[in-house]
Structures are given as structure tokens and as C-alpha cells.
Structure 1
């Protein structure tokens, strides 16, 4: 390995710089473009050096007369962005000056305008369009989501608008001649993966998926397989086949303290299912654990591994994507489970769900999903912590893998000790008072409503979105208008925080109505738009509209009915 401080002149010496076909797509955005531009402009103004980072290149074998050819191991985001800035400035030059700068951008013969940087498959066409275009206006009709072309248009516009860079030729000469880079050149025998992982600390850091992908296909290359075919069949087809697919796998989700992409969540789940990611392992080491797993794979084992990644990824990709406006029906078991998982923020269960979906179908799968739904919902309702869920679910996956004959009974056995007792459930439902009580009551009431709709043959609307407001019928500010119902604060709270005193409305009540006596709260006072009656489009709310009074007896009676509904839905049926 040889490291050298360099200006962009190092590009003159290279015949071709090839970005490996399996590297991630270009991902920089305006925040990074602006920072680069402003930093370089400031350096030009003050005639000071500026360090952009490292570029790692690995020597590739070439035929005699072809010149040097290197693989770009790290730094493609920086190098691509800087090259586009150079091209944007090159466009502004008089034709007489352009030949002096072609050597930085194009292969010989430069008149063919073949880019010296051969981009990865994902971005190659866009990068070639940029280098062959006379100016950014030529590409104004291109895909608006193409980040490389967007970068080109950004820099072209910036150069036009920047008063300080009217002498853009001097600016171009400056950024080409100052020592911006440390280039690290590896011999063909050196292990680029070690370098690749350790120095990736600037720009938009690679996520675990990027590093795992690089490791998988670096292994395929080392095994002298038809790696491009493997890549196309088992990776590109699933993760990169369309913009929609790429957006899905790159979507970031909040998982506890961290944000992780869908692809990272999936690859973590897959590693748990395969058994090489242990409960005690750290997520920060996910890519390292994958590398250790495949280190001694032969060709057959690697292809089998990739094939199974694809099979599980297809299942994961087709799981319900629950949004705030998703219409839900009680009859859709899978959507119901995934909605409950989303609201309860239960992420560690995903590997088990994937394993069950991969291994079983029809009534067996439906029964397994119901057991998981019941377990998650009732534990969350009774505030039983999620501690050691990862251990529990990993153990369950292993048991199912070893004994597929009766997964339903096996699942019941694994979960039974953690399921709350009936008495505990009832106790929770008459004392929904803590900080998360409203969330728990809302979820329970919403699914009771959908259950009732599914059972009511005369009900046309059986799908609803989760966009309702929880209302305490006897208000939490009870002292003003509800003193005749409660003896004291303790008695009042005993009534207010029962599930029977809560309902869902399609809109929020004004504070003057919210705390008003029952008849006013129910019917309104004539001056306010919202009342319980005007906001009642759910069965669980309509059933209280004929109540002439709302008192202790009404609350307790409704609590009993709702508890009965809960046990009818989530009782031990299987």
C-alpha cells in the first residue's frame, strides 16, 4: 500500500478508473454539494489548501499498451462529485481552452468523450450523459430523481450565479492544482476490504448493507465465479431493479435509539434466522459478522446463501407497509398484526415473523400470527417489558427450525410464560392512567371497532384508517361539571381511567365542550361545531348516544362489555 498527497492531476496518469459493479449508487445531495462548493470557493478566495479526503485505488491487470487501470475501492462519492464540478466549469470554457482539460475527464482519444471514470452499472449511463453533454440545459428533461444529473445542474447554476467566480477558469485551475486528496494505491494482491471498512469515515458513511454487499461479491470475485450473473440474479433483481425498490430498501426507520434502513433491518433478521447473529452480538458489528460467516464459503455455499437472501427478501418486501392513512380491516390478519407491531413499536419480532412466513402457510401461518398478535398486544397492554424479547424470539426460531411438525403448539409453549393472566388484563383495563395509557386504549378500541364491523353483516364499511382521537367521556378535568358523579379525586380517577369511559371520535372536542356536563358534551351547546354526537361515526361511540346520563353505573357496565369483547377477540382460542 502506498499513500500519496495529490492534486487532481493524478487523474492524468490513469487510463481508466473503474468503480466496481456492485458498489452502491451515488447518494450525495444538495447539503454535500453545497459544502464542497463553499469550501473550495473559500480556499480559492484565501489561496489556502483544502483536504477532501482519501481515494483508495487498486491496481487491475491490463493488456500491454492499455495503460494503467485501477478499481476505485473508496471515495467514489467525493471523486464523482468533484469530477462533475470540473465538468460544469469545463462547459464554461472557450473552445480554445478545452483541449488542455480533457485529460482530467476523458480517456484517450479524448475526442470520443469516453469517461475516464467508468461508473458502476447503476450510475454509468447518467455519468456518461453528463460528460458528453455540452451543458446542463441538454439534460433538463432527464429524470428528476437522478442525483448525478441533479448534481451537474446544481453546480452549473451555482457557477452562473456566483459573483466571486466570474473568473471561473482561474477557479478551475486552482482546484485542479491544490493538493486536495490522499490517494492510496493498493497492489493487486492486497485485501481492499480491510481498507474499505476502516477508512470510510467521511461524507455519507456506508451503511451495513453497502458493506455486506461489497463483501458478498468480493467473495464471489475471489472464488472466480460468474459474479456479475450472481449479482444480477440474487441482488440487483431484488434490491436495485427499480427506483421504487431502491427507495423501499433505503427508507430509514426509527428502531429504538437508531435509524436503520429497511435493508439493514432485513439483513439483521436474516442473520438471526440463519443463526450466525447471536442475541449478545452488537448491531454495529453486523457487516463484520456477515464477513466472518462467508469467509470459508465455497462457490456452492455462497450461491445457496445468496439464493436464500433473495427468497427471504421477497417475503419481507411483500409484507404490509402500514402508513398513518392505511385502511385496515379486521379480516386481514397479516395487516392487523403489522399494524399492532407498528403501534407497539415491536421490532425484535421481525426475524420470527419472517421465519414463520417462509416455512408455513394457510391455517398454520394464520394461527401462528394470531398467537404473536395476542402476545404482543396483551403484553403491551399490561406494560410487560420487552426485555429479552430478542433472546425469546431467537430461541423460538431455533426450536421451529428443529421441529416443524407442530409450530402452533411450539409457539404457544414458548410464549405462554410471558402472556399476562386474565386478572392482570382486567386490572389494566380499569386503570389506564399512565403516560402511555391513551395509546394503549386507542389501539384496543380501534380493533374492537373493526371486529364489531366484521361481525355486523349489515355494516357496509369494514375498513378504517387509524385516524381517531381518544376521548374520556367523563373528563379528566371533572371538578367543574361532574362533581355529582364523583365523591372525591380518588373516586373520580377510578371512573375516568376505565376503558369503559373512553371512546374514539373523528375529531377533537373544544375544551369548553370537552369538560361540559354530559348532555352538553353529547349534543353540543349550539355555538361549537364538535360534540360527541357530531363526531360519532364508530359503532363503539354510537352505542352511547342514547344515554340520558353518564355515571358510575354507565362506565362500569360499558367496561364489562368492552372487557368481554377483548377476551372474545384475543382470548385463548387456539
Structure 2
């Protein structure tokens, strides 16, 4: 059954006699539990209230049928997230039908077979979707490597849970509802130009669209309208790599537990902040993702009459963006396998502002030679001082993308940032003051200890006071005066201790902490316990230890 050019259709009529492919350049399946649960709740409420449910617009382009297939084949231009989710839900519901003949009939009509699905993402996503639908129980979740595959697996797992308590009558009622009463506004377009134009218009009118989709859409629009579609395939290819890289970055960041609230806007803005050369007139290191998108759109609009300039801009900008996204992904893969990098990336944790520099250096094979400099910048400027020199960092990132800087030149640039914000004199003053709550303290103490520490063991460590913050003893006996509230948080009075041990020793005097500290895996903490046990451990010894730590930092974190 063919789909009308533009009208409201039922989900059942869309799948009946038709097949859909999701091209490789499209976004991978990315609906989370939040979106899937919202759809489920909407369907439940609509069934309860005996009303149809409208799920928005879908855009298709008819393709030639495969071989002798009687099904009409459509390429999904817009709406694949909703279609895929409903497809998985229908599969779960149909599997619950007890009558084998009816079940097989429904599977054939709406799902297809493992090798010939009614809805098929191209590439390995299509193979995995087939496994989710027909071989779900044999999939080992921990073996799944792609983020889109995890989302598909979780979609079926959640829907199986939702339907578990439903009766056969309720199952049949929901299947009929999805088939006959879920409606979509369908646009069946004739060609790519019409598809891109319609997609852009729909999403410019307020429907939610993520920043990468918006950017791809606007570049496709200018290619279609002003370059005779000459760059359409190129744009699709570049964004396929960008989308895949972004999905892998999300998985890797969770594995490594770094990068905080990394999202699409992050990779989009990080690339922009290191790409001043593409936007010589409008580049600003404080532009938001939306402003950057408007800059891209405005720049295309300003040069659209010059075909050559428009083609050069789209090609060069997207090639660089693709390489940046791929480099970002490869960086995290390398971190995962490199213990020296794990130490700095996962224990110290670089501030997000430094990542445009880090990615550019990694892309140029210069990160290994500059990692210690970046570590020093992070420790001294970002962590100890607690400042975030955005302008300096993004300016340098952009320069790195424009010129082949030598290691010495990079060293000099980073040194200038350190001297501007955290000279040796200023660094010494910060280290000599109240340092307890500082972001660099734990890392410095771990480096001072020098022992091998896994990320897991490092994460379990806490900063403990030798002389307690709220002492249950008279600190004056140990040489402290009225200024103890200030003195207690200085470097000499701080050690690393495992959380479990720390909880057990409480606020007792140092001599009563010895047995606990001797159980620590931190060598310097055990050595401290030995010094306390030896006797005469007073404020003077704390001051001496602070001075040693300060001198260590000035020699260890030098650029």
C-alpha cells in the first residue's frame, strides 16, 4: 500500500505493505527511557480516555523496491526515533499473543523477519535490531559496544517489563490501538530537495531539534537550494562520522567517569571555540550553541550568491568538524588504554575549557609531548587558583588549528597562561594558606606519595586532618594557639586516607589515629603514623611538612 503525498495516516496503514529504511547518515537510535516512558504513558492515557493519539509528523522519500518485493520501500527523512520505538513496542506486544497463527500473521504484517525487517536501519544497526526483535534472550548486555544498540536493547527490556502484568485482552487492545488509532501527519516527498526544505521548515517553526541535526539541516538546505545538491552526499557522510563519534564519546565518558555533563552542545561548541578561522568576523569565545548556529546560518546566507565560496566554506568547516569529533573520540579511546593519561584525565580531571586545546594537540600527535604542561596548567590555574581563563584557552585552541606550532611554541604559550594567572609567587601563597577544600589538594597529596594508585582506589581516598578539624583534645598541648581554625586546614596537617578508615578514627588525637593510618595503602600516610608513634609530633612538624609539600609542588608542577 502506497503512502499518500501529504495526509494523516494510521500507524497500521503505514506498515502494511511498506518497508522503511533508515539511511546510515541519519542519527542512530537515541531515545532514552525518558522519551520511551513518555510515549508509553501517552498511549495508556489515550486508551483510557478512548481517544486517538497524534505523534507528530513523519517525512518519507519513496525508493525503488528491492528485487521482486511487493512492498513499497521508503527512506525515512524525519521521524525515525518515534517509528523505531513504536516498532520495538509492537514487537513486544505481538510476542505476547498466545495463538501461534495470529502471532505469526501479525509479525509478518508489521515486523517482518530477522533478515527482512519492515523497518531496517542500514549497516550494523539493522543487524542488531534484528537480534533485539528475534534473538533478545541471547544478547549479553555487557558485550554491547554501541550506544544506539544499548538504547534498542533497553527499549525492548523496558517494554517487556511494562507489558508483563498485562492480560491477553489488554495486549490485544493495545496492539489494535497502535495499529488503528495512533496517527501521524505524513509527508511523502518526491526528492531530496523537497525533503530537506520541508524538514528545515518544520523544525524552524518550533519543533524540538538538537543542535547537530539543526546544523546538518541548514547546510543541506543551502547545498540543495544553491549548489544543486552537489554537497548533499558529502554533508551526509561527514555527519555520519560526527554522530557516531558523539555516541561513542558518551559511552567512553561514562566508562572513564570524566567530562561531566558532556552533550551535543559541548562537542559543537568545543569545535567552534577552536575554529576561529572559519568565523573571522563573528567568532566569540562566549557564544552559545544557538548563537553559533545562527552564525553558521548567517554566514551561509551572506555568501550564498557566490557558489564557490559557499562550497568552500561548507567543505572546509565540515571536514574540520568531522576530524575534530573523530579526534575527540580517539582521544578518549587512547586515554582508556594509557595509564599515564588515565592518571591525569581521570584523577586530576581536566576542566572542560581545556579540551579544545587537548583535542587539537591529540589530532596533531603532540599531546604526549605536552601533557605534563597541561597538567601543570590544570593544577596551578584551574584547580589551585580556581579560575577559568576561557579567552586564553580558546584563543590558543584556535591558533593550534591554524598553524603547525612546535612543542617549544606550545610550551611557551602555556607558560604564559601560568605566569599570567598563577606565578610561582602566587602559587606559593595559595599553597601556604587554607588549602583543605581546594580542587588540587587530593591530586597533589597523591603525587607527593608517589605510589601506584588505580582510579578506583584514588576515588575511595579522602583528605584527612592529622590534627582533627573538631578536636576532642586540647590542641594547645601540641603548640597550636588561637589561630587553630586557620592552621588546621593548611597543607602540613592533611593526609590521604581510605574512606572506611577515616570514618573509624573520628576526631581523636593523632596518637589514637596511628593504628588506623597504619592500615592505609598510602605509604606517606603510614610513614606519618610512624612519625606520630615515635613521639614529639607537634605543630613544628606540621609546619615542616607543609614547607616540604610547597617546595615539592613548585618543583613538580613547573612549566
Category of TM-score, reference length = shorter chain: 0.7 to 0.9
Counterpart mapping for 1:247-326 below 5 A: 247-248=251-252, 259-261=261-263, 264-275=265-276, 276=279, 278-286=284-292, 289=295, 302=314, 305-319=317-331
Q: RMSD in angstroms over aligned alpha carbons?
A: 4.7
**C-alpha spacing 1:521/1:183, structure 2 compared with 1 (3 Å):** same
Q: Secondary structure at the match of 1:404?
A: coil
In the alignment, which of 495, 519, 532 is matched to residue 534 of structure 1? 519
* In structure 2, distance between residues paired with 1:19 and 1:301: 28
Other structure's SS at 2:496 match: strand
TM-score (norm 1): 0.73
Closer/same/farther in 2, CA of residues 506 and 283 from structure 1, 3 Å limit: same
Secondary structure of the residue that 1:180 maps to in structure 2? strand
Cα shift readout 1:137-173 (whole Å, capped 9, x = no counterpart): x54324645444664565567556413x526445433
Alignment partner of 1:415 out of 396, 417, 420: 417
1:559 matched to 2:546? The reply is: yes
Paired with 1:248 and 1:385, the residues of 2 have a C-alpha distance of: 27
1: CA distance between counterparts of 2:255 and 2:498? 30
- Would the alpha carbon gap of residues 512 and 486 (structure 1) be closer, same or farther in structure 2, given more than 3 Å must change? farther
Distance 2:102 2:547 in 1: 86
Task: For structure 2, list consecutive stretches of 5 or more residues without a partner in the other structure.
Answer: none
Distance in 1 (CA, whole Å) between partners of 2:552 and 2:233 is: 56
**CA deviation map 1:380-412 (0-9, x unaligned):** 4553422xx221112223445357355146405
Q: Distance between the aligned counterparts of 2:343 and 2:374, measured in 1?
A: 11
Q: Give 1:36-115 correspondences, 5 Å limit.
A: 36-51=39-54, 53-60=55-62, 70-90=74-94, 92=97, 105=110, 114-115=116-117
Would the aligned equivalents of 1:507 and 1:535 in 2 still touch at CA under 8 Å?
no
Aligned to 2:471: 478
- Give the superposition deviation at 1:502: 1.4
1:362-381 matches, cutoff 5 A: 366=369, 368-380=370-382
2:502, 2:100 → 1: CA distance?
70
Given the superposition, is the C-alpha separation of residues 101 and 319 from structure 1 closer, same or farther in structure 2, using an over 3 Å criterion?
A: closer
> Residue 546 in 1 paired to residue 494 in 2?
no
State the SS of the aligned residue for 2:495: strand
Q: 1:166 aligns with which of 148, 165, 169?
A: 169
Gaps of 5+ in 1: 454-460, 525-529
Contact 2:268 2:289 in 1 (8 A): no
Give the secondary structure class of the aligned counterpart of 1:545: helix
Contact (CA 8 Å) 2:513, 2:529: kept in 1 or not? no
For 1:90-136, what per-residue CA distance to the aligned partner results, in whole angstroms no more than 9, with x for missing partners? 55385776899689637xxx999954544344533345567xx7xx5
- Per-residue CA shift, 1:284-308, capped at 9, x if unaligned? 4455555666776666765555544
1:58–1:185 CA contact under 8 A, matched in 2: yes
Structure 1 or 2: larger helix share? 2
